[in-house]
Chain A
Amino acid sequence: MAEGRFPSPFEIETPPGAEGWEELYTYSLPFSEDRRAYEESVFWFQDGIHWPEVLPPWDATFYEYAIASLSQYNTRHYLIPPALGIDYRVLNGYAYLTPVPVTDPAEIEARVPKFMERAGYYFQNWDRLYDNWKEKIRRLTEELKRLDLSPLPEVEPMEVITEGRGEGSGMRLIENYRELLNQALRLWQYHFEFLNLGYAAYLDFFGFCKEAFPNIPDLAIAKMVAGVEVDLFVPDEKLRELAKLAIELGVDAMFDDGDPEAIMAKLAESDAGRRWLAKWDEYKDPWFNFSNGSGFYHTDEVWIEHLEIPFSYLRNYMEKFRAGEDLSRPIEELRAERDRVVSEYLELLPSEEDKEAFNQKLGLARVVFPYVENHNFWVEHYSHAIVWRKMRELGDTLVHAGFLAERDDVFYLKRNEVSDVLWDYYSAWAVGTEPRGTVYWPREIERRKGILDVLRAWSPPPALGEPPEVVTEPFTIMLWGITSDSIGMWLSGGGEEAPADGLKGFAASPGVAEGPARVILTADQIGEVQEGEILVAPLTAPSWAPIFNKIKATVTDIGGMMSHAAIVCREYGLPAVTGTAFGTKQIKTGQVIRVDGSTGTVTILE
């Protein structure tokens, strides 16, 4: 690892014009003098996988809910012996994390029997508990959808009187917003009910394979465990099916021009078109509640709310079908290949005991892995889309009430400020006078937008504080791709020039490809990607899957072997190098690059 350390969080200055940014977040989020000694003593890394951009104030809600829930399971539910939670902060609007280890060996020892009892219960009852989980998520999202966040009426309807309800619409609005927050927190509690245990079982199999076969590619291990049918890939599969159906019904030409609404209107005029629309309606909920980002930002675009995204993919698929391409996934072949890989490694093991242990660990990893693979669709995509939608309903209500200029301004309020705003709204409505907020908030939100714009232009350092000698904490490596190597790479600075021997990253998906680079910094640029190019992005989202039919390979700045980008690339058979740290900085659109997904190297050729 390179020598040196990262700046202390207390050495980082606020960019001019962003003064007071701390007030846009919960008071416990910024670094502060109150905890300075502790905060300076640990290593923090920027979580670019989930929160690569500045956090708008309300969006920080999911950041806090997610990391606190993750931590709660390690620390208080399962008592993961060597690991407490992940501590989290915001600096100049960006998310920084630090894993908290259990350092006292006696305490680790004491946690072991409790972990075995508690985690053991989940492992033994996994399928039943996971079925239960799906039902819990279904109920939770149904309840979210039902929340009424509409404006307060001019007068209460007559039945409030006749039914003797004794409470009014203000109560309803205040209560439903609280309920929205409760459900959002509950969603994240559910999210981590299984996840860490799932990773632990996977890592156990991973560790066994690495011990038996020191040189085994990580990819081979992932291949043995990965499911063949995964919810995360269903939206893309449904799009292919719809593209094929449009051709079969002879309505594909209607997609050639016009905006999606016009196309849909045209489709509704014919029987064939209506059959296609019926299929579309059947699939859109839940499958097209699919975000083009990580799902953690209100600005991430969800397919059913931005029809131009799925429609452009549909057009692309129709073209490919018409050109005679077979886009179906060979499920049986994938299964057979997975079985072959497993049986060959098994055969190479030295003893019967090892074979038994291998089978047992693989068995458990496969029991837990569907959760690891599927939860992301149901939580970050599907449920988050509903939360964002409900928040926009509330935004509309506040626009109607004069507090906001536009619906998305609601995300410039902290989650607890929203309660105060609703109080102001309700209270003035109740009294029959003017609220303060209709003057105060439009002005304040403009000011906040200015601060966030300044922070958006600022580049967060990849890490803060003294780097650890060696990274061993399994979740950090697995989830965030942080290794001693990547820390060394950050410390080496990574200027504008790529090193002569190429950029290094994770060998996330095998194969070699050469082609012109296309550097994409935000999700709304993905329309620029042309056939045959190599995608270079800070990170990719699972919902970008359809463009993986156009591109030859992928390079990302952030992420490890299990990052969503890596999973999608393996699924689509594209070479990928993830976690290069500086790919988007050092590679320029149009440069011809060579991506070696087997060794994790990216070379600029010309």
Chain B
Amino acid sequence: MNDFVLWFEEYEPAHLPIVGGKNRSLGEMTRAGLPVPPGFALTTLAYEAMRDQDELARREVRELLSHVDLTDASGLQELAAKVRRRIEAIPMPAEVERALRDAYAALCERCGVDDVPVAVRSSATAEDLVDASFAGLQDTFLWVRGIDDVLAHVQRCWSSCFTDRAIAYRHEMGHDHDRLLMSVAIQKMVRPKAAGVAFTLNPSDGDRSQVAIDSAWGFGEAVVSGEVTPDNFLVDKVIYEIVSRTISPKVVEYRLDEATNRVVKAEVPDDRVNAPSLTDDEAKAVAAMARRAERHFGGPQDVEWAIDADLPDGENVILLQSRPETVWSQKPRTPVARATSDPIEGIVATLLNPVHTRGRGSTVGE
């Protein structure tokens, strides 16, 4: 790394003060083998370099902020806009711009895509508030393409520590505006061939040895919103065998409209409607990824994932979000062991109440 750019895979705990909470989480997941989309942090040192090169602007901002009046909403809005304009007017220091240009070019090359679309997200921190992410208070910009746009949006991200809400929040909490620092996360946007959700247990019976995957073409919205009946895969999380596979007709998908950089809903062409949206190998890779997330977070997870069309096989399963599974995880687990100390008693019980051993792996429609 140089002082300004830290790739997610380079993250170590000591970096937290200069990258902020958002980048920490991306860095930790990357280090744990959880395939978040590739990208890098622009550190707070870049923000400081920008801020410190224009002492006049800094004084003007300080001055403006000394007149915050929380009772006057429109006044606050106006004041915030002024502060943001002033900050965005500060030219990006040349060495920061060079580092950013190099890093973005490297990301494009790594993804094999010219002007790779990225998300530019703020990752705020403060000298004494290591995890001052102020969730939702700063801006996130999606589908940013090309270095010029990236440079512009980094500046907008920097200035977004001075949205009216952020100013009000800090004012109320008594935090010093001046001690606030801003890091930025620049991360590839996923262009999913297919996407969906995965549970690290079987939601229909709570079986913890399975990963249940719902999958459809394009962006995950179609699955999450229930607009399509997804394909369903049940994968054993220890031996990675596909225990069952149900392919459903998937008539709509969300995909990126290249012209407008917008995600739009579209009809799925006939030849893909009834085709499996995941190959067996992809389903196994999604299951393996979900299993890693479960281990990383220490409990059953509900994972959003995508297969990125831009990335090569083996690296194209992307973790978008992982949160704790809430239904089965909150039920007490019933122990299996019958109260027998003598192994022969167990055998007798088995002989008297044999499991109906359906050897058939396929449970489709059963």
List A residues at the B interface (Cβ < 8 Å): 80-83, 108, 112, 115-116, 119-120, 123, 200-201, 203-204, 206-208, 210-220, 223, 341, 344-345, 348-351, 353-354, 356-357, 360-361, 364, 470-474, 477-478, 481, 483-485, 504-508, 510, 512, 560-561, 579, 598-601
State whether the Cβ of B210 lies closer than 8 Å to any Cβ in chain A. yes
Q: Are B357 and A600 in contact (CB under 8 A)?
A: no
A350 CA to B207 CA, complexed, in Å: 11
Contact A215 B209 (CB under 8 A): yes
A601 to B360, CA, bound (A): 9
Nearest-CB residue, chain A, relative to B279: A512
Partner among B242, B334, B357 whose Cβ is within 8 Å of the Cβ of A210 = B357
Is B304 part of the binding interface, using a Cβ–Cβ cutoff of 8 Å? no
From A214, A471, A485, A600, contact of B205 by CB (8 A): A214
Complex contact B344–A507 (CB within 8 A): no
Q: Within residues 206 to 225 of chain B, which ones have a CB less than 8 A from any CB in chain A?
A: 207-210
8 A-B contacts (beta carbon < 8 Å): A216-B209, A217-B236, A217-B239, A351-B337, A477-B359, A483-B360, A507-B362, A599-B364
Do B239 and A81 have beta carbons less than 8 Å apart? no
**Cα of A212 to Cα of B363 in the assembled complex, Å:** 18
Q: Which A residues touch B359, using CB under 8 A?
A: 218, 477, 481, 483, 506-508, 560-561, 579, 600
Stretch with Cβ within 8 A of A (4 or more), from B25-33, B91-99, B120-128, B345-353: B345-353
User: Is B336 a contact of A208 with CB atoms below 8 Å?
Assistant: yes
Contacts of B280 in A (CB 8 A): 512, 598
Q: What residues of B have a CB within 8 angstroms of the CB of A483 in the complex?
A: 357-360
Q: At the interface, yes or no: B67 with Cβ under 8 Å from chain A?
A: no
Asked whether A211 lies within 8 Å of B336 as measured between CB atoms, the reply is yes
Contacting pair B335 A351 (CB below 8 A): yes
**A204, B360: Cα distance in complex, Å:** 19
- B352 touching A108, Cβ below 8 Å: yes
How big is the B interface, by class? 35 or more
Is B335 a contact partner of A204 (Cβ separation < 8 A)?
no
**What residues of chain B lie closer than 8 Å to A507, measured between beta carbons?**
359-362
Whether, in the assembled complex, B293 has its beta carbon less than 8 Å from a beta carbon of chain A, the answer is no
Please tell me if the beta carbons of A203 and B348 are within 8 angstroms of each other in the complex.
no
B288, chain A: closest CB distance, angstroms: 12
Shortest Cβ distance from A341 into B: residue: B238
- Measured CA separation A413–B343 after assembly (Å): 48
Near A by CB (< 8 A), chain B positions 304-349 give 333-338, 340, 342-349
B348 touches A474 (CB 8 A): no
B22 at interface by CB-CB < 8 Å: no
Q: How far is the CA of A360 from the CA of B347 in the complex (A)?
A: 12
Q: Please, how many angstroms separate the alpha-carbon atoms of A211 and B337 in the complex? A: 9
9 nearest A-B residue pairs (beta carbon): A507-B361, A350-B333, A357-B337, A213-B209, A599-B362, A204-B350, A506-B359, A344-B238, A212-B336
Partner of A120, one of B205, B245, B335, B344: B344
| B357 adjacent to A200 (CB under 8 Å) | no
Cβ A211 vs Cβ B355 within 8 A: yes
Q: How many Å lie between the Cα of A116 and that of B360 in the bound state? A: 32
A223 to B238, CA, bound (A): 11
B241 surroundings in chain A (CB, below 8 A) = 217, 219-220, 510, 598
A201 & B239 in contact (Cβ 8 Å cutoff): no
Beyond A119-B347, A350-B334, whether A506 also contacts B356 by CB under 8 A is no
Q: Are B351 and A350 in contact (CB under 8 A)?
A: no
Q: Is there an interface contact between B234 and A215, defined as CB atoms closer than 8 Å?
A: yes
Q: Is the CB of B345 within 8 A of A353?
A: no
B354 at the interface (CB under 8 A from A): yes
**What separation, in Å, do the CA atoms of A507 and B336 have in the docked complex?**
26
Query: Is B243 close to A, CB under 8 A?
Result: yes
A351 touching B333 in the complex, CB below 8 Å, given contacts A201-B347, A220-B236? yes
Q: Assess whether B244 is interfacial by the CB under 8 Å rule.
A: yes
Question: Which residues on B sit within 8 Å (CB–CB) of A357?
Answer: 336-338, 340, 346
CB distance from B168 to the nearest CB of A (A): 48
